[in-house]
Structure 1
Amino acid sequence: MKQFLFFITTKSYGAYINLLCFIAPKKATLLAFSLFSHPRKGKLNSNQLPPFLAEAKKETFDNHGLQFQTYRWDGDEKIIFLLHGWESNTMRWKKLLPHLIETGHTIIAIDAPAHGLSEGKEFNVIRYAASIDCVAKKYSPNYIIGHSIGGKASLYYQATYNNPTVEKMVLLGAPSDYAIIFKNYVRLLRLNSRMEKLIHQHYWERFQVKVADFSAQHYAHSVTAKGLLFHDLDDTVVLYEESKKTNQYWKTSVLETTKGLGHSLQNKEVYKKISAYLLQ
């Protein structure tokens, strides 16, 4: 029943936007972009945090007038950043965290814009990378671990801001080409070609980046930090081919293939390999 309602809702939105783009193209574009960048879930309640987050040291940062939340577990001078994916939050690191604590390093997890306890209604990789930079200016990360779109934001951050303190990065089920995500959205809502062009134009005007160029092909080669990519053959959210492409362009990266773990990659053997990689 839920799937049926979701199908009807998305198709209704798409039909409305397609009609609106001929009557009020600017309004249609803003609506389509808002739906594309607005997460439907992933928020947390500050009064109902799970114990491992409630006990962490919390600190808020400001990114262009919006507050975003971080959580810190103190260790030695080496610092690990954790970056979750779309419609998620720092909760996703609960099972990995004990393994990282065993490394003895300081761990800082970030709730992405519009997720967890962070403010905002809009999410995009560029804003996420800017949030990473805000925290990095105070806590210089040596290692970055990102899942899904958090992995893409990690790589984009390093390519854009070129942080010299970053030694290693771990990307879990991360997409390579933003155009694929965008195309899936267009297909989901069955947006017409006129509407698709309008959103492309809006993206360029707002970020000065073409959707087609927002790909690991165009920036991964500039990242000199070492990389470890995990991707599951059975991932239906972000296909395995995405990490293969990133690995091809990111010359200092290694691709680790798993099977049967899906997109989440929540697995004890994966956690052990991540910890061992950071300690090498």
Structure 2
Amino acid sequence: MKKNFYFLLTKSIGTYINLMSYVFPSRAIQIAHGYFSQPRKGKINSTKLPKTLQEATLETIVENENIVQTYIWKGNETIILLIHGWESNSSRWKKLLPHLIQSGSTIIAIDGPGQGLSNGKEFTVPKYAEFIDIVAKKYNPQYMIGHSMGGKTGLYYQYKYKNPTIQKMVILGAPSDFVIILKNFTSLLSLNKKMIQALQHKYTQVLDKNLDEFASKEFVSNMETKGFLAHDIDDTIVLFTEGKKIAEAWKDVQFEETKGLGHKLHDEELYKKVSAFLFESDI
């Protein structure tokens, strides 16, 4: 029943946008962009924080129009920055955190734009990378861990900002090609050719790059940072082939193929391998 309702809802939205594209094209693009870039889940209430985040020290960083929420588990001078994915927040790290805290490191998690307790309505990779840069400039992390779109954003961040303090990156279930993400969205809504072309033009401007080049495999092609990349064969959210594209382009990466973990990739053995990679220990 829920699947049928979701199917009818998405097709109805797509039909409405298609009709609007002939009468009010600018408005149609605005509506489509809103559905594509505005998370509908992931916000949290500061008075009802998830238990995991209650155990952290909260720090809000304000820079220009940006309000970036961070959560800090204080430890030694080794700093690990955690970057969650789409329609999520920093509580998604609750199963990985014990492994990282055990190392004695300082852990800093960040809420992305329009998610958690951070401000904003739109979630785009460049905007998220701007949030990361604000936090990175203040704390100079040596390690970065990103999941899903957080992983893609982390790779884009390092590609664009070339932060010399980042020594290692852990990327979990990240997509590679933006054109595939956009194609999946336009197919879901059954948008017409006019709208597809309009959105392609819009995101070429938003991303300030040819859409074919806005891909994680391109971001890592000349990257010197050492990486650990994990992707599940059974991932139905971000297909395994996306992970393979990144692995094949990243010259200094340890690629872990998993099975049965899905997109979330929560697994004790995997997290032990992450710790071993970061802290160069045997598991």
Please say if 1:190 is aligned against 2:190.
yes
Amino acid at match of 2:151: G
CA distance in 2, matches of 1:27, 1:262: 37
- In the alignment, structure 2 segments of 5+ residues that lack a partner are none
Q: Quick one: structure 1 residues 184 and 64, their matched pair in 2 at CA, closer, same or farther if it must change by over 3 Å?
A: farther
Aligned to 1:74: 74
Question: Residue in 1 aligned with 2:45?
Answer: 45
Letter in 2 for 1:136: A
What's the % identity of the aligned pairs? 52
Question: Structure 2 CA distance, aligned partners of 1:212 and 1:221?
Answer: 14
Please state whether the residue corresponding to 1:3 is helix, strand or coil.
Answer: helix
Where 2:139 maps in the other structure, the secondary structure is coil
Deviation at 1:276, TM superposition (A): 1.2
Return 134-143 or 62-71, whichever deviates more.
62-71
> Aligned pair 1:92/2:102, yes or no?
no
CA distance 1:63–1:238, change in 2 (3 Å):
farther
Which residue does 2:144 correspond to in 1? Answer: 144
Per the TM alignment, residue 273 of structure 1 is displaced from its structure 2 partner at its CA by: 0.8
Aligned residues: 280
* Cα distance, 1:64 vs structure 2: 4.6
Larger mean Cα displacement after TM superposition, 203-212 or 85-94: 203-212
Give the Cα separation in 1 of the matches to 2:192 and 2:251. Answer: 38
Q: How high is the TM-score relative to the length of structure 2?
A: 0.96
Q: What TM-score, normalized by structure 1, do the two folds share?
A: 0.97
Distance 1:133 1:165 in 2: 12
The 1-side partners of 2:272 and 2:259 are apart by 16
Cα distance in 2 between the residues matched to 1:66 and 1:8 = 36
* Separation in structure 1 between the aligned mates of residue 254 and residue 154 of structure 2, nearest angstrom: 16
1:19 partnered with 2:22 = no
State the AA in 1 paired with 2:16: Y
Structure 1 position 124 matched with structure 2 position 124: yes
Corresponding residue number in structure 2 for 1:101: 101
1:275 aligns with 2:275: yes
Q: How far 1:207 moved relative to its partner?
A: 3.2
The answer to whether the Cα contact below 8 Å between 1:200 and 1:210 also exists between their aligned partners in 2 is no
How many angstroms apart in 1 are the aligned matches of 2:123 and 2:63? 13
Q: Runs of 4 or more off by more than 6 Å in structure 1?
A: none
RMSD between aligned residues: 1.1
- Listed one character per residue, the Cα deviations across residues 164-209 of structure 1 (whole Å, up to 9, x for unaligned) are 0011000000011111111100000000111011011111233322
